[in-house]
Amino acid sequence: MFGKFFRGQYSLSEAFWKFSVFGLFCCAGISRILMTGLKQTVGYDMNYINVVLKNISLISMNSNAFAWMCFYTASFLAVIIYSIICIIGMYNTYKEYEKSKVLAIICMILTWGLVYLAIKTSMYS
């Protein structure tokens, strides 16, 4: 399924709505939920580096915070990787779309905006 999207073999509407909008929304939402769990566990520390340094040490490690940190980090990396896949897939779909290049360009611009919002929403802040 993702291979067909990556190669641009879906229609423009299917690629945009299913993979870009819905996929990025789900990835960012899951990452945001995990970030909220991590923040509640570490007492709303605003600096992610402090959270990592406090919970990577074997002396002062909180196992719950370490688990939340691992889950959040994995989900944030998944958002980054999915964003790259989404941009490449939409670009390949854009190249294959022959009906209206203006519509394809608009979808590409909106996909870049969605990627920006997904990454910004998923960042620890």
Number of domains in the chain: 1
Predicted pLDDT of residue 64:
84
Q: Which residues does 97 contact at the CB level (< 8 Å), separation at least 6?
A: 12, 103, 104
pTM, to two decimals: 0.86
Question: Does residue 58 surpass a pLDDT of 70?
Answer: no
Q: At what angle do helices 63-96 and 48-56 cross, to 10 degrees?
A: 130
The pLDDT tens digits for 39-57 are 888 887 777 877 777 777 7
Confidence of residue 33 (pLDDT cuts 50, 70, 90): very high
- Domain containing 110 equals 2-122
Poorest-confidence range of 3-7, 60-64, 82-86? Answer: 60-64
User: Does residue 86 contact residue 115 with C-beta atoms inside 8 Å?
Assistant: yes
Please report the pLDDT score of residue 111 as a whole number.
93
